[in-house]
Protein backbone atom coordinates (compact mmCIF):
# COMPACT_ATOMS: atom_id res chain seq x y z
CA UNK A 1 0.00 0.00 0.00
CA UNK A 2 1.29 3.43 -0.94
CA UNK A 3 -1.01 6.11 0.54
CA UNK A 4 1.02 9.03 -0.84
CA UNK A 5 -1.48 11.52 -2.34
CA UNK A 6 0.84 12.45 -5.26
CA UNK A 7 0.98 8.96 -6.71
CA UNK A 8 0.43 9.46 -10.48
CA UNK A 9 -2.25 6.79 -10.89
CA UNK A 10 -5.54 7.17 -12.73
CA UNK A 11 -7.35 6.26 -9.53
CA UNK A 12 -6.26 5.88 -5.95
CA UNK A 13 -6.75 2.32 -4.66
CA UNK A 14 -5.85 1.59 -1.06
CA UNK A 15 -5.60 -2.08 -0.05
CA UNK A 16 -6.14 -2.54 3.68
CA UNK A 17 -6.32 -6.32 3.88
CA UNK A 18 -5.60 -7.64 7.36
CA UNK A 19 -5.92 -11.31 6.49
CA UNK A 20 -2.51 -10.96 4.82
CA UNK A 21 0.28 -13.43 5.24
CA UNK A 22 2.40 -14.46 2.28
CA UNK A 23 0.60 -16.75 -0.13
CA UNK A 24 2.24 -20.18 -0.29
CA UNK A 25 2.66 -22.18 -3.54
CA UNK A 26 -0.05 -24.51 -2.24
CA UNK A 27 -2.37 -21.54 -1.74
CA UNK A 28 -1.80 -20.42 -5.32
CA UNK A 29 -2.44 -23.93 -6.64
CA UNK A 30 -5.75 -24.22 -4.75
CA UNK A 31 -6.86 -20.76 -5.79
CA UNK A 32 -6.07 -21.32 -9.46
CA UNK A 33 -7.36 -24.86 -10.00
CA UNK A 34 -10.09 -25.28 -7.36
CA UNK A 35 -11.31 -22.13 -5.63
CA UNK A 36 -11.58 -19.92 -8.69
CA UNK A 37 -13.47 -22.30 -11.07
CA UNK A 38 -15.62 -24.01 -8.41
CA UNK A 39 -16.23 -20.83 -6.46
CA UNK A 40 -17.26 -18.87 -9.55
CA UNK A 41 -19.58 -21.72 -10.57
CA UNK A 42 -21.35 -21.49 -7.20
CA UNK A 43 -21.50 -17.70 -7.42
CA UNK A 44 -23.09 -17.79 -10.88
CA UNK A 45 -25.69 -20.38 -9.81
CA UNK A 46 -26.44 -18.42 -6.65
CA UNK A 47 -27.00 -15.28 -8.73
CA UNK A 48 -29.93 -17.01 -10.44
CA UNK A 49 -31.27 -18.15 -7.09
CA UNK A 50 -31.04 -14.55 -5.88
CA UNK A 51 -33.31 -13.54 -8.75
CA UNK A 52 -35.78 -16.30 -7.89
CA UNK A 53 -35.79 -16.14 -4.07
CA UNK A 54 -34.04 -12.91 -3.16
CA UNK A 55 -30.83 -12.77 -1.13
CA UNK A 56 -32.63 -13.20 2.19
CA UNK A 57 -34.19 -16.55 1.18
CA UNK A 58 -31.48 -17.92 -1.10
CA UNK A 59 -31.05 -21.52 0.16
CA UNK A 60 -27.34 -21.53 -0.74
CA UNK A 61 -26.77 -18.88 1.94
CA UNK A 62 -28.45 -21.00 4.62
CA UNK A 63 -27.29 -24.55 3.90
CA UNK A 64 -26.12 -25.13 7.46
CA UNK A 65 -29.41 -23.92 8.91
CA UNK A 66 -31.34 -26.08 6.42
CA UNK A 67 -29.53 -29.19 7.66
CA UNK A 68 -30.69 -28.41 11.19
CA UNK A 69 -34.23 -27.75 9.98
CA UNK A 70 -34.48 -31.02 8.04
CA UNK A 71 -33.14 -32.91 11.05
CA UNK A 72 -35.90 -31.34 13.16
CA UNK A 73 -38.45 -32.67 10.67
CA UNK A 74 -36.81 -36.09 10.87
CA UNK A 75 -36.99 -35.99 14.67
CA UNK A 76 -40.64 -34.94 14.90
CA UNK A 77 -41.83 -37.39 12.23
CA UNK A 78 -39.71 -40.16 13.77
CA UNK A 79 -41.31 -39.68 17.17
CA UNK A 80 -44.76 -39.99 15.60
CA UNK A 81 -43.78 -43.16 13.72
CA UNK A 82 -42.34 -44.72 16.87
CA UNK A 83 -45.69 -44.39 18.65
CA UNK A 84 -47.15 -46.97 16.26
CA UNK A 85 -43.99 -49.00 15.62
CA UNK A 86 -43.71 -52.65 16.69
CA UNK A 87 -40.11 -53.46 17.59
CA UNK A 88 -40.48 -57.21 16.99
CA UNK A 89 -39.16 -58.92 13.86
CA UNK A 90 -42.60 -60.07 12.79
CA UNK A 91 -44.45 -56.89 13.75
CA UNK A 92 -42.06 -54.24 12.43
CA UNK A 93 -42.95 -54.66 8.76
CA UNK A 94 -46.68 -54.90 9.46
CA UNK A 95 -46.71 -51.81 11.69
CA UNK A 96 -45.00 -49.73 9.00
CA UNK A 97 -47.39 -51.04 6.34
CA UNK A 98 -50.35 -50.21 8.54
CA UNK A 99 -49.08 -46.65 8.97
CA UNK A 100 -48.39 -46.26 5.25
CA UNK A 101 -51.69 -47.58 3.90
CA UNK A 102 -54.16 -47.68 6.80
CA UNK A 103 -53.27 -44.19 8.00
CA UNK A 104 -52.01 -42.71 4.73
CA UNK A 105 -53.46 -39.25 5.44
CA UNK A 106 -51.13 -38.77 8.44
CA UNK A 107 -48.99 -41.81 9.17
CA UNK A 108 -48.12 -42.26 5.49
CA UNK A 109 -47.27 -38.58 5.13
CA UNK A 110 -45.17 -38.73 8.28
CA UNK A 111 -43.27 -41.73 6.95
CA UNK A 112 -42.63 -39.98 3.64
CA UNK A 113 -41.58 -36.80 5.43
CA UNK A 114 -39.19 -38.85 7.55
CA UNK A 115 -37.66 -40.38 4.42
CA UNK A 116 -37.46 -37.28 2.25
CA UNK A 117 -36.27 -34.95 5.02
CA UNK A 118 -33.49 -37.45 5.76
CA UNK A 119 -32.47 -37.45 2.10
CA UNK A 120 -32.71 -33.65 1.95
CA UNK A 121 -30.41 -33.38 4.98
CA UNK A 122 -27.77 -35.42 3.12
CA UNK A 123 -28.13 -33.44 -0.12
CA UNK A 124 -27.87 -30.11 1.70
CA UNK A 125 -24.91 -31.36 3.76
CA UNK A 126 -23.03 -32.35 0.60
CA UNK A 127 -23.79 -28.97 -0.99
CA UNK A 128 -22.65 -27.26 2.21
CA UNK A 129 -19.33 -29.13 2.12
CA UNK A 130 -18.75 -28.44 -1.58
CA UNK A 131 -19.61 -24.76 -1.24
CA UNK A 132 -17.40 -24.16 1.77
CA UNK A 133 -14.54 -25.88 -0.06
CA UNK A 134 -15.16 -24.04 -3.35
CA UNK A 135 -15.18 -20.64 -1.63
CA UNK A 136 -12.14 -21.48 0.51
CA UNK A 137 -14.08 -21.28 3.76
CA UNK A 138 -12.56 -24.30 5.47
CA UNK A 139 -8.91 -23.47 6.12
CA UNK A 140 -7.01 -21.35 8.60
CA UNK A 141 -9.19 -20.20 11.50
CA UNK A 142 -12.08 -22.30 10.10
CA UNK A 143 -10.27 -25.63 10.54
CA UNK A 144 -12.18 -26.47 13.72
CA UNK A 145 -15.63 -26.15 12.16
CA UNK A 146 -14.56 -28.18 9.12
CA UNK A 147 -12.80 -30.91 11.10
CA UNK A 148 -15.66 -31.32 13.58
CA UNK A 149 -18.11 -31.51 10.68
CA UNK A 150 -16.79 -34.95 9.66
CA UNK A 151 -18.08 -37.02 12.65
CA UNK A 152 -21.70 -35.83 12.16
CA UNK A 153 -21.55 -37.29 8.63
CA UNK A 154 -20.81 -40.71 10.08
CA UNK A 155 -23.62 -40.39 12.62
CA UNK A 156 -26.09 -39.33 9.92
CA UNK A 157 -25.18 -42.35 7.79
CA UNK A 158 -25.50 -44.64 10.82
CA UNK A 159 -28.97 -43.24 11.53
CA UNK A 160 -29.99 -43.73 7.91
CA UNK A 161 -28.74 -47.30 7.76
CA UNK A 162 -30.39 -48.34 11.04
CA UNK A 163 -33.58 -46.63 9.89
CA UNK A 164 -33.72 -48.87 6.83
CA UNK A 165 -33.12 -51.94 9.00
CA UNK A 166 -36.18 -51.18 11.10
CA UNK A 167 -38.58 -51.33 8.13
CA UNK A 168 -37.50 -54.97 7.63
CA UNK A 169 -38.49 -55.23 3.99
CA UNK A 170 -36.31 -56.52 1.16
CA UNK A 171 -34.22 -53.35 1.10
CA UNK A 172 -33.70 -53.71 4.86
CA UNK A 173 -32.64 -57.31 4.32
CA UNK A 174 -30.06 -56.21 1.75
CA UNK A 175 -28.83 -53.44 4.04
CA UNK A 176 -28.61 -55.75 7.05
CA UNK A 177 -26.61 -58.45 5.23
CA UNK A 178 -24.30 -55.89 3.57
CA UNK A 179 -23.74 -54.08 6.88
CA UNK A 180 -22.99 -57.40 8.57
CA UNK A 181 -20.37 -58.17 5.91
CA UNK A 182 -18.71 -54.82 6.48
CA UNK A 183 -18.77 -55.22 10.25
CA UNK A 184 -17.35 -58.73 10.07
CA UNK A 185 -14.43 -57.43 8.00
CA UNK A 186 -13.28 -55.58 11.11
CA UNK A 187 -10.77 -57.62 13.14
CA UNK A 188 -12.78 -57.62 16.38
CA UNK A 189 -16.02 -59.26 15.18
CA UNK A 190 -14.86 -62.44 13.37
CA UNK A 191 -17.84 -63.20 11.07
CA UNK A 192 -20.40 -63.47 13.89
CA UNK A 193 -22.89 -60.97 12.46
CA UNK A 194 -23.05 -62.48 8.97
CA UNK A 195 -23.65 -65.99 10.38
CA UNK A 196 -26.56 -64.70 12.45
CA UNK A 197 -28.22 -63.04 9.46
CA UNK A 198 -27.71 -65.87 7.01
CA UNK A 199 -28.88 -68.48 9.51
CA UNK A 200 -31.90 -66.45 10.52
CA UNK A 201 -30.82 -66.26 14.18
CA UNK A 202 -32.35 -62.88 14.86
CA UNK A 203 -34.36 -62.00 17.94
CA UNK A 204 -36.76 -59.29 18.93
CA UNK A 205 -34.09 -57.99 21.29
CA UNK A 206 -31.90 -57.21 18.31
CA UNK A 207 -34.62 -55.03 16.83
CA UNK A 208 -35.10 -53.33 20.16
CA UNK A 209 -31.36 -52.59 20.17
CA UNK A 210 -31.59 -51.13 16.64
CA UNK A 211 -34.53 -49.00 17.76
CA UNK A 212 -32.55 -47.64 20.71
CA UNK A 213 -29.61 -46.83 18.45
CA UNK A 214 -31.84 -45.15 15.86
CA UNK A 215 -34.11 -43.23 18.23
CA UNK A 216 -31.94 -42.53 21.27
CA UNK A 217 -28.22 -43.13 20.94
CA UNK A 218 -27.81 -41.84 17.39
CA UNK A 219 -29.82 -38.61 17.76
CA UNK A 220 -28.15 -37.71 21.07
CA UNK A 221 -24.72 -38.29 19.55
CA UNK A 222 -25.66 -36.22 16.48
CA UNK A 223 -26.90 -33.30 18.57
CA UNK A 224 -23.70 -33.34 20.61
CA UNK A 225 -21.54 -33.55 17.46
CA UNK A 226 -23.39 -30.65 15.79
CA UNK A 227 -23.07 -28.58 18.97
CA UNK A 228 -19.31 -29.05 18.84
CA UNK A 229 -19.37 -28.25 15.11
CA UNK A 230 -20.82 -24.76 15.68
CA UNK A 231 -19.20 -24.15 19.06
CA UNK A 232 -16.74 -21.55 17.76
CA UNK A 233 -19.40 -19.55 15.94
CA UNK A 234 -21.44 -16.77 17.50
CA UNK A 235 -25.07 -15.87 16.76
CA UNK A 236 -25.82 -19.27 15.21
CA UNK A 237 -29.34 -19.52 13.75
CA UNK A 238 -30.25 -23.25 13.68
CA UNK A 239 -33.54 -22.70 11.84
CA UNK A 240 -32.71 -20.11 9.19
CA UNK A 241 -35.22 -17.65 7.73
CA UNK A 242 -38.83 -18.53 8.49
CA UNK A 243 -39.92 -18.17 4.87
CA UNK A 244 -37.26 -20.60 3.67
CA UNK A 245 -38.20 -23.11 6.39
CA UNK A 246 -41.90 -22.92 5.53
CA UNK A 247 -41.21 -23.26 1.81
CA UNK A 248 -38.96 -26.28 2.37
CA UNK A 249 -41.56 -27.97 4.57
CA UNK A 250 -44.33 -27.38 2.02
CA UNK A 251 -42.13 -28.80 -0.74
CA UNK A 252 -41.51 -31.96 1.30
CA UNK A 253 -45.23 -32.33 2.07
CA UNK A 254 -46.12 -32.01 -1.62
CA UNK A 255 -43.46 -34.60 -2.51
CA UNK A 256 -44.79 -36.91 0.19
CA UNK A 257 -48.31 -36.70 -1.24
CA UNK A 258 -47.28 -37.04 -4.89
CA UNK A 259 -44.73 -39.82 -4.40
CA UNK A 260 -45.21 -41.49 -1.01
CA UNK A 261 -42.41 -43.63 0.42
CA UNK A 262 -43.33 -47.33 0.15
CA UNK A 263 -41.81 -50.61 1.29
CA UNK A 264 -40.91 -53.57 -0.87
CA UNK A 265 -41.99 -57.07 0.13
CA UNK A 266 -41.18 -58.34 3.63
CA UNK A 267 -37.68 -59.58 4.34
CA UNK A 268 -37.11 -63.30 3.80
CA UNK A 269 -33.63 -64.56 4.66
CA UNK A 270 -34.21 -67.72 2.59
CA UNK A 271 -34.45 -65.67 -0.60
CA UNK A 272 -32.16 -63.19 -2.30
CA UNK A 273 -33.92 -59.97 -3.42
CA UNK A 274 -33.83 -59.58 -7.19
CA UNK A 275 -34.88 -55.94 -7.70
CA UNK A 276 -34.04 -53.24 -5.16
CA UNK A 277 -34.74 -49.52 -5.19
CA UNK A 278 -32.06 -48.44 -2.76
CA UNK A 279 -31.59 -44.97 -1.32
CA UNK A 280 -28.36 -43.75 -2.93
CA UNK A 281 -28.02 -40.92 -0.45
CA UNK A 282 -27.41 -43.31 2.46
CA UNK A 283 -26.67 -46.70 0.91
CA UNK A 284 -24.24 -45.70 -1.85
CA UNK A 285 -21.34 -47.81 -0.52
CA UNK A 286 -23.22 -51.13 -0.38
CA UNK A 287 -23.35 -51.85 -4.17
CA UNK A 288 -19.54 -51.75 -4.17
CA UNK A 289 -19.61 -55.04 -2.24
CA UNK A 290 -20.81 -56.73 -5.45
CA UNK A 291 -17.46 -55.92 -7.08
CA UNK A 292 -14.97 -55.22 -4.27
CA UNK A 293 -13.91 -56.96 -1.12
CA UNK A 294 -15.12 -55.70 2.23
CA UNK A 295 -11.59 -54.54 3.05
CA UNK A 296 -11.38 -52.49 -0.13
CA UNK A 297 -14.69 -50.78 0.64
CA UNK A 298 -13.46 -49.93 4.14
CA UNK A 299 -10.24 -48.49 2.71
CA UNK A 300 -12.29 -46.25 0.40
CA UNK A 301 -14.67 -45.10 3.15
CA UNK A 302 -11.99 -44.45 5.76
CA UNK A 303 -9.61 -42.94 3.19
CA UNK A 304 -12.20 -40.43 1.99
CA UNK A 305 -13.13 -39.58 5.58
CA UNK A 306 -9.49 -39.02 6.52
CA UNK A 307 -8.87 -36.90 3.42
CA UNK A 308 -11.95 -34.82 4.19
CA UNK A 309 -10.83 -34.27 7.78
CA UNK A 310 -7.27 -33.27 6.80
CA UNK A 311 -8.17 -30.88 3.97
CA UNK A 312 -7.64 -27.71 6.07
CA UNK A 313 -3.94 -28.57 6.34
CA UNK A 314 -3.36 -29.62 2.72
CA UNK A 315 -1.42 -27.35 2.57
CA UNK A 316 -1.43 -25.43 5.88
CA UNK A 317 -2.40 -21.79 5.66
CA UNK A 318 -0.39 -18.94 7.06
CA UNK A 319 -2.51 -16.86 9.41
CA UNK A 320 -1.82 -13.18 10.15
CA UNK A 321 -1.60 -11.74 13.63
CA UNK A 322 -4.76 -11.63 15.73
CA UNK A 323 -6.46 -8.45 16.87
CA UNK A 324 -4.90 -6.73 19.88
CA UNK A 325 -6.56 -4.73 22.63
CA UNK A 326 -5.22 -1.31 23.63
CA UNK A 327 -6.41 -0.95 27.21
CA UNK A 328 -5.52 2.74 27.34
CA UNK A 329 -8.23 3.31 24.71
CA UNK A 330 -10.69 0.53 25.67
CA UNK A 331 -13.69 1.55 27.77
CA UNK A 332 -15.03 -2.01 28.12
CA UNK A 333 -18.22 -1.31 26.15
CA UNK A 334 -18.30 -4.89 24.83
CA UNK A 335 -19.37 -4.02 21.27
CA UNK A 336 -16.45 -5.95 19.79
CA UNK A 337 -17.52 -8.93 21.89
CA UNK A 338 -21.06 -8.70 20.49
CA UNK A 339 -19.91 -8.31 16.89
CA UNK A 340 -17.19 -10.97 16.68
CA UNK A 341 -18.48 -13.69 14.30
CA UNK A 342 -16.20 -16.43 15.67
CA UNK A 343 -16.48 -15.96 19.43
CA UNK A 344 -12.83 -14.90 19.65
CA UNK A 345 -13.45 -12.00 22.06
CA UNK A 346 -14.55 -12.25 25.68
CA UNK A 347 -15.04 -9.70 28.44
CA UNK A 348 -13.36 -9.92 31.82
CA UNK A 349 -12.78 -7.81 34.91
CA UNK A 350 -10.51 -4.84 34.37
CA UNK A 351 -6.82 -5.64 34.91
CA UNK A 352 -5.17 -2.21 34.63
CA UNK A 353 -6.87 -0.43 37.52
CA UNK A 354 -8.87 1.92 35.27
CA UNK A 355 -12.31 3.04 36.39
CA UNK A 356 -13.97 0.99 33.64
CA UNK A 357 -15.48 -2.28 34.91
CA UNK A 358 -14.43 -4.65 32.12
CA UNK A 359 -11.95 -5.11 29.30
CA UNK A 360 -11.95 -7.04 26.03
CA UNK A 361 -9.71 -10.08 25.66
CA UNK A 362 -8.85 -11.68 22.30
CA UNK A 363 -8.21 -15.42 21.94
CA UNK A 364 -5.64 -15.52 19.10
CA UNK A 365 -6.43 -19.17 18.32
CA UNK A 366 -10.01 -18.19 17.41
CA UNK A 367 -9.38 -14.82 15.77
CA UNK A 368 -10.07 -14.68 12.02
CA UNK A 369 -8.15 -11.39 11.61
CA UNK A 370 -11.21 -10.02 9.80
CA UNK A 371 -11.02 -6.64 11.54
CA UNK A 372 -14.76 -6.44 12.28
CA UNK A 373 -13.88 -5.60 15.88
CA UNK A 374 -12.03 -2.48 14.67
CA UNK A 375 -15.19 -1.24 13.00
CA UNK A 376 -17.09 -2.02 16.21
CA UNK A 377 -14.91 0.09 18.49
CA UNK A 378 -16.24 3.61 19.23
CA UNK A 379 -12.64 4.82 19.55
CA UNK A 380 -12.13 4.22 15.80
CA UNK A 381 -13.93 7.49 15.01
CA UNK A 382 -11.67 9.54 12.69
CA UNK A 383 -13.07 12.80 14.15
CA UNK A 384 -11.83 11.87 17.63
CA UNK A 385 -8.29 13.18 17.22
CA UNK A 386 -7.43 16.10 15.02
CA UNK A 387 -3.72 16.55 15.74
CA UNK A 388 -2.56 13.12 16.94
CA UNK A 389 -2.24 9.67 15.42
CA UNK A 390 -5.60 7.91 15.57
CA UNK A 391 -5.61 5.05 18.08
CA UNK A 392 -8.45 2.68 18.93
CA UNK A 393 -9.32 0.25 21.70
CA UNK A 394 -8.84 -2.85 19.55
CA UNK A 395 -6.77 -2.94 16.39
CA UNK A 396 -5.16 -5.14 13.75
CA UNK A 397 -1.35 -5.06 14.12
CA UNK A 398 -0.71 -5.38 10.38
CA UNK A 399 -3.28 -2.69 9.43
CA UNK A 400 -3.62 -0.30 12.41
CA UNK A 401 -6.39 2.26 12.37
CA UNK A 402 -3.99 5.18 11.92
CA UNK A 403 -2.91 3.66 8.57
CA UNK A 404 -6.56 3.44 7.55
CA UNK A 405 -6.94 7.08 8.53
CA UNK A 406 -3.86 8.08 6.52
CA UNK A 407 -5.02 6.01 3.52
CA UNK A 408 -8.42 7.71 3.61
CA UNK A 409 -6.78 11.13 3.62
CA UNK A 410 -4.56 10.17 0.68
CA UNK A 411 -7.47 8.73 -1.28
CA UNK A 412 -9.58 11.85 -0.73
CA UNK A 413 -6.75 14.16 -1.73
CA UNK A 414 -6.28 12.24 -4.99
CA UNK A 415 -9.85 12.84 -6.20
CA UNK A 416 -10.29 15.05 -9.26
CA UNK A 417 -13.21 16.22 -11.33
CA UNK A 418 -16.66 17.59 -10.61
CA UNK A 419 -18.23 14.47 -9.07
CA UNK A 420 -15.81 12.72 -6.71
CA UNK A 421 -16.51 9.35 -5.15
CA UNK A 422 -14.83 7.23 -2.50
CA UNK A 423 -15.71 3.52 -2.62
CA UNK A 424 -15.18 1.27 0.39
CA UNK A 425 -15.15 -2.46 -0.41
CA UNK A 426 -13.85 -5.83 0.76
CA UNK A 427 -11.35 -8.32 -0.56
CA UNK A 428 -14.04 -10.90 -1.32
CA UNK A 429 -16.33 -8.70 -3.40
CA UNK A 430 -15.87 -6.90 -6.71
CA UNK A 431 -12.24 -6.10 -7.49
CA UNK A 432 -12.15 -2.34 -6.95
CA UNK A 433 -8.57 -2.10 -8.23
CA UNK A 434 -9.97 -2.55 -11.76
CA UNK A 435 -11.81 0.79 -11.57
CA UNK A 436 -9.77 3.48 -13.30
CA UNK A 437 -11.20 6.96 -13.03
CA UNK A 438 -9.55 10.11 -11.64
CA UNK A 439 -12.80 11.04 -9.93
CA UNK A 440 -13.03 7.74 -8.04
CA UNK A 441 -10.83 6.52 -5.17
CA UNK A 442 -11.22 3.05 -3.66
CA UNK A 443 -10.28 1.40 -0.38
CA UNK A 444 -10.37 -2.36 0.14
CA UNK A 445 -10.57 -4.04 3.53
CA UNK A 446 -10.36 -7.70 4.50
CA UNK A 447 -14.05 -7.31 5.46
CA UNK A 448 -16.34 -4.34 5.02
CA UNK A 449 -17.24 -4.73 8.70
CA UNK A 450 -13.72 -3.45 9.47
CA UNK A 451 -14.75 0.01 8.24
CA UNK A 452 -15.74 2.33 11.12
CA UNK A 453 -19.00 4.09 10.20
CA UNK A 454 -17.43 7.45 11.09
CA UNK A 455 -15.16 7.21 8.05
CA UNK A 456 -18.18 7.64 5.78
CA UNK A 457 -19.09 10.97 7.33
CA UNK A 458 -15.40 11.88 7.38
CA UNK A 459 -15.14 11.27 3.62
CA UNK A 460 -18.22 13.34 2.85
CA UNK A 461 -16.86 16.25 4.87
CA UNK A 462 -13.37 16.07 3.37
CA UNK A 463 -13.70 16.12 -0.39
CA UNK A 464 -16.00 13.29 -1.47
CA UNK A 465 -19.33 14.13 -3.08
CA UNK A 466 -20.52 10.59 -2.47
CA UNK A 467 -19.53 7.37 -0.72
CA UNK A 468 -20.31 3.90 -2.03
CA UNK A 469 -20.20 0.79 0.16
CA UNK A 470 -19.61 -2.62 -1.36
CA UNK A 471 -18.55 -6.10 -0.30
CA UNK A 472 -19.71 -9.70 -0.39
CA UNK A 473 -23.22 -10.43 -1.55
CA UNK A 474 -25.94 -9.65 0.96
CA UNK A 475 -26.43 -12.53 3.44
CA UNK A 476 -23.20 -14.17 2.22
CA UNK A 477 -20.37 -12.35 3.98
CA UNK A 478 -17.09 -14.30 3.94
CA UNK A 479 -16.78 -13.50 7.64
CA UNK A 480 -20.50 -14.18 8.27
CA UNK A 481 -21.73 -10.80 9.55
CA UNK A 482 -19.58 -8.03 8.06
CA UNK A 483 -22.15 -6.61 5.64
CA UNK A 484 -25.03 -7.21 8.06
CA UNK A 485 -23.33 -5.26 10.85
CA UNK A 486 -22.42 -2.50 8.38
CA UNK A 487 -26.05 -2.12 7.28
CA UNK A 488 -27.18 -1.93 10.91
CA UNK A 489 -24.53 0.68 11.75
CA UNK A 490 -25.63 2.81 8.81
CA UNK A 491 -29.32 2.52 9.72
CA UNK A 492 -28.67 3.41 13.37
CA UNK A 493 -29.57 -0.04 14.68
CA UNK A 494 -26.10 -0.98 15.85
CA UNK A 495 -23.31 0.86 17.64
CA UNK A 496 -21.22 2.65 16.68
CA UNK A 497 -23.67 3.99 14.14
CA UNK A 498 -23.42 6.63 11.46
CA UNK A 499 -24.19 10.15 12.63
CA UNK A 500 -27.84 11.07 12.27
CA UNK A 501 -27.05 14.35 10.50
CA UNK A 502 -25.08 12.60 7.73
CA UNK A 503 -26.62 13.21 4.30
CA UNK A 504 -27.60 9.66 3.38
CA UNK A 505 -28.61 10.69 -0.13
CA UNK A 506 -24.87 10.82 -0.82
CA UNK A 507 -24.40 7.25 0.37
CA UNK A 508 -25.09 4.14 -1.72
CA UNK A 509 -24.74 0.44 -0.90
CA UNK A 510 -24.17 -2.25 -3.53
CA UNK A 511 -23.26 -5.74 -2.31
CA UNK A 512 -21.62 -7.59 -5.19
CA UNK A 513 -19.33 -10.58 -5.71
CA UNK A 514 -16.81 -10.97 -8.53
CA UNK A 515 -19.32 -12.18 -11.16
CA UNK A 516 -21.55 -9.16 -10.35
CA UNK A 517 -19.06 -6.66 -11.77
CA UNK A 518 -21.39 -5.43 -14.55
CA UNK A 519 -24.22 -4.91 -12.06
CA UNK A 520 -21.87 -3.05 -9.74
CA UNK A 521 -20.65 -0.76 -12.54
CA UNK A 522 -24.25 0.05 -13.52
CA UNK A 523 -25.05 0.94 -9.91
CA UNK A 524 -21.90 3.05 -9.72
CA UNK A 525 -22.77 4.88 -12.95
CA UNK A 526 -26.35 5.56 -11.81
CA UNK A 527 -25.19 6.80 -8.38
CA UNK A 528 -22.64 9.10 -9.93
CA UNK A 529 -25.19 10.47 -12.41
CA UNK A 530 -27.61 11.16 -9.58
CA UNK A 531 -24.96 13.07 -7.63
CA UNK A 532 -24.02 15.02 -10.76
CA UNK A 533 -27.64 15.97 -11.42
CA UNK A 534 -28.06 17.08 -7.81
CA UNK A 535 -24.90 19.16 -8.04
CA UNK A 536 -26.15 20.93 -11.17
CA UNK A 537 -29.46 21.75 -9.52
Q: Give per-residue pLDDT as tens, 126-165.
A: 999 999 999 889 988 899 999 999 999 999 999 999 999 8
Report how far residue 81's alpha carbon sits from residue 99's, in angstroms, rounded to the nearest whole number.
Answer: 8
**For domain 25-183+204-272, is the CATH number 1.20.810.10?**
yes
Kindly report which listed range (16-25, 146-155, 246-255, 352-361) carries the lowest average pLDDT score. 16-25
pLDDT confidence of residue 318? 79
Report how far residue 55's alpha carbon sits from residue 67's, in angstroms, rounded to the nearest whole number.
Answer: 19
Q: Is the pLDDT of residue 108 over 90?
A: yes
Kindly report which listed range (157-166, 290-299, 308-317) carries the lowest average pLDDT score. 308-317
Report how far residue 476's alpha carbon sits from residue 483's, in angstroms, rounded to the nearest whole number.
Answer: 8
Q: Is the pLDDT of residue 484 over 90?
A: yes
- Other CB atoms within 10 Å distance of the CB of residue 239: 13
Q: What value does the mean pLDDT take over residues 269-279?
A: 79
Q: Are 496 and 453 in contact (CB under 8 A)?
A: yes
Kindly report which listed range (36-50, 109-123, 460-474) carries the lowest average pLDDT score. 36-50
- Give how far Cα 246 sits from Cα of 69, 249, 251, 253, Å: 10, 5, 9, 11
Q: Is the pLDDT of residue 511 over 80?
A: yes
pLDDT confidence of residue 425? 96
pLDDT confidence of residue 194? 55
Per-residue confidence band for 20, with pLDDT thresholds at 50, 70 and 90: very low
The share of the chain scoring above pLDDT 90, in percent, equals: 72
SS3 127: helix
Q: What is the pLDDT of residues 411-426, one digit of tens each?
A: 999 999 889 999 999 9
- Domain ranges in the chain are 12-20+319-536, 25-183+204-272
Q: What is the pLDDT of residues 190-222, one digit of tens each?
A: 556 555 555 556 677 778 888 889 999 999 999
CA 481 to the chain's CA centroid: 11
Q: Are 461 and 385 in contact (CB under 8 A)?
A: no
Kindly report which listed range (3-7, 88-92, 210-214, 431-435) carries the lowest average pLDDT score. 3-7
pLDDT confidence of residue 537? 74
Report how far residue 410's alpha carbon sits from residue 357's, in angstroms, rounded to the nearest whole number.
Answer: 38
Full-model pTM: 0.90
- Give how far Cα 394 sits from Cα of 337, 361, 374, 485, Å: 11, 10, 6, 17
Kindly report which listed range (119-123, 265-269, 462-466, 478-482) carries the lowest average pLDDT score. 265-269
How confident is the prediction for the chain on average, in pLDDT?
A: 89
Q: What is the pLDDT of residues 358-373, one digit of tens each?
A: 999 999 999 999 999 9
Report how far residue 185's alpha carbon sits from residue 321's, in angstroms, rounded to the nearest whole number.
Answer: 48
Per-residue confidence band for 2, with pLDDT thresholds at 50, 70 and 90: very low
Report how far residue 87's alpha carbon sits from residue 66's, in angstroms, rounded to the nearest whole number.
Answer: 31
pLDDT confidence of residue 206? 78
Q: Are 182 and 297 in contact (CB under 8 A)?
A: yes
pLDDT confidence of residue 464? 96
Q: Are 392 and 466 in contact (CB under 8 A)?
A: no
Per-residue confidence band for 30, with pLDDT thresholds at 50, 70 and 90: low
pLDDT confidence of residue 4? 38
Degrees, nearest 5: CA angle 171-175-177: 120
SS3 470: strand
Amino acid sequence: MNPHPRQPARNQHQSLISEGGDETPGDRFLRRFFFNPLGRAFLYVEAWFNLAFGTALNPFYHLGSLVFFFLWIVLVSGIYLYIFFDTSIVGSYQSIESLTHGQWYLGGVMRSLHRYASDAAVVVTVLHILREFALGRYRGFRWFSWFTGVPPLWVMVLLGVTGYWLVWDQVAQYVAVSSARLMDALPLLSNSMTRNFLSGKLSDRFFTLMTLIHLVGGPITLVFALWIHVKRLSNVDPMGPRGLAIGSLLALIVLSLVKPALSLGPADMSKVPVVLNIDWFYLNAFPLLNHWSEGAVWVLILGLSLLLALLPWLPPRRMPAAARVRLDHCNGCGQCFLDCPFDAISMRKRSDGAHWATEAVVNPDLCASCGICVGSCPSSNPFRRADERLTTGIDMPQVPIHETHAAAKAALSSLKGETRLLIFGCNHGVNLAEIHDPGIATMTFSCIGMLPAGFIDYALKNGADGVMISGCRSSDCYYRFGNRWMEQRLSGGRMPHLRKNTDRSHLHICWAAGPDKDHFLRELKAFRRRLSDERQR
